[in-house]
Amino acid sequence: MNILFVITRADAIGGAQVHVKDLAIALQSDRHKVLILTGESGIYNDDLREAGIESVSCEYLQKQINPIADGKSFRYILNVIDLFKPDLIAAHSSKTGILGRLASQITKVPCIFTAHGWSFTTGIPEPNRTIYRWLEKLTASLADKIICVSEYDRQIGLKAGMNSQQLLTVHNGMKDVSPQLRANPAESDPVKIAMVARFDRQKDHATLIEAFKDVNAELILVGDGPSLVKTKQKVEQLGISHKVSFLGFRQDIAEILAQVQVYALISNWEGLPCTIIEAMRAGLPVIASDVGGVKEIVLEGQTGYLVPRGDIQGLRQKLNYLIGNEPARISMGIMGRQKYESQLTFKHMYEQTLTAYQEVIGQKSGVTKSDQELKANS
C-alpha cells in the first residue's frame, strides 16, 4: 500500500504527531510506502527525517481558517496526490481532515480521517467550536471511515448526526519502553509530579498551579507554547518557584517520567491523551481532568483520579492524598501498567488501524484483505 498521511502542524510534536510517526514507521517496516504531508516545515519534519520517514511541507497549511491559504493548501495536496499516487489518504487533525476528504472526492482516492478529539467538543472556545461543528457535519460523509480515538468522541459524532457505519473507535496506543524506564511511585523525598503538555488554551496549567500552591511536593512541567511566559509569571507571583521546574520542549519523555511518582494532565478538552498512556506505561498513578475520553483509561480509584474541569480544590485534595499515600501510588501504578499492557499498546492500535486501512482500500478497489497481505509480502 501507498499511504499518504496529512497532518497540519509541524512546529510542535504532540500526541497526533507521535501517533502518525509511529504508524508510518510500522507501515514502512511492513514494506508499505508512506509519505507525510505537513504544514509549514518545523521540528516534526526533522524528527521524521531522523526516523527515516519521508515528509513534505506546505507553507500555506495552517491551523487557523484562512480561505486564501486553505485554497493554496488544497491545490498543494492535490499535486502531492498526483505525484505520490497513494492507495489511501490518512488525514489527521481537523483542518487536514476536511481538506483531505475534499481531495479524496476529486481524486477518487479513499480517505480515512482520524479525529484526535473533535474540534467542536465541550471546552473548545467559540466561534471555532460552532464553525468546526458545521464543517465536520458537512464533510463527514466524504470520508470512507472516521477513526475516533475514544468512544466518547464516537458518541459525539453520532449525536452530531454522523453515520454509525462510518465511525470506528480505536484507542490510541504507545510503543513500550525498557523495564529500566519504569517509574518508582514509592519514592517520596520529595514526591515528584509531572505534567507533559503544550502551554496553550487546551491545557489548564493555571488550575494546576493554583492547586499546587499548598501542596508539599515538586512539580515538573514539560513543554513550550504561547502561555509559557504567563505561567512562569503566575508561579513567581504565588511564591512557589522553588518547587516548580520548567523543562521546556523535550523528547526524552520516557526518561523524565521514570523519575517521578505521579502524573497529572489538567485540561480544558481532550481526545485520548497519549501522555496519559505514557504515564501508565511507566507505572504511574494519574490525576487528570474528566474531559473527553480520559475516563476510558483513567479508572477512578483504580489507576488514578478524575477531577472536574477547573476544580482547583478537588485537584488539590487528590494531589495531597496521593502524595501522602505511598501504598495508593504503588497500587494505582501497577493497575495502570496492567491497563496499558492489556489495551493500550501500539500493537493493539496498529492492528486495528491497519485492518481499517485494508478494508477501505479493498472496498474501493474490490481487492480483499488477504490479497493485499499477499501483495505486501511478495
Residue found by looking up cell 480515512 in the block: 112
Considering the domain architecture, whether residues 360 and 247 belong to the same structural domain is answered as no
pLDDT exceeds 90 at position 141: no
Q: Return the pLDDT at 187.
A: 86
173, 346 Cβ separation under 8 angstroms? yes
Considering the domain architecture, whether residues 155 and 198 belong to the same structural domain is answered as no
Structurally, how many domains does the chain consist of?
2
Q: Return the pLDDT at 361.
A: 95
Question: Per the confidence metrics, is the pTM higher than 0.85?
Answer: yes
Q: Return the pLDDT at 371.
A: 54
Q: Over the stretch 97-111, which tens digit does the pLDDT of each residue have?
A: 999 999 999 999 999
Considering the domain architecture, whether residues 119 and 31 belong to the same structural domain is answered as yes
| Domain of residue 256, residue span | 179-343
Calculate mean pLDDT across residues 161-171: 93
74, 97 Cβ separation under 8 angstroms? no
pLDDT exceeds 80 at position 368: no
Which CATH number fits the domain that encloses residue 253?
3.40.50.2000
228, 246 Cβ separation under 8 angstroms? yes
Give DSSP secondary structure letters for 45-79: HHHHHHTT--EEE-TT--SS--HHHHHHHHHHHHH
Secondary structure of residue 30 in the 3-state scheme:
coil
**H or E, element range at 36:** strand 33-38
Tell me how far apart the alpha carbons of residues 105 and 309 are, in angstroms, rounded to a whole number: 39
C-alpha distance from residue 3 to each of 34, 57, 103, 118, 343 (Å): 5, 16, 14, 23, 25
Considering the domain architecture, whether residues 237 and 282 belong to the same structural domain is answered as yes
Considering the domain architecture, whether residues 95 and 165 belong to the same structural domain is answered as yes
Secondary structure of residue 271 in the 3-state scheme:
coil
Considering the domain architecture, whether residues 183 and 210 belong to the same structural domain is answered as yes
Tell me how far apart the alpha carbons of residues 275 and 330 are, in angstroms, rounded to a whole number: 19
Considering the domain architecture, whether residues 84 and 114 belong to the same structural domain is answered as yes
Percent of the chain with pLDDT over 70: 96
Secondary structure of residue 364 in the 3-state scheme:
helix
Considering the domain architecture, whether residues 168 and 187 belong to the same structural domain is answered as no
Secondary structure of residue 177 in the 3-state scheme:
coil
Considering the domain architecture, whether residues 338 and 351 belong to the same structural domain is answered as no
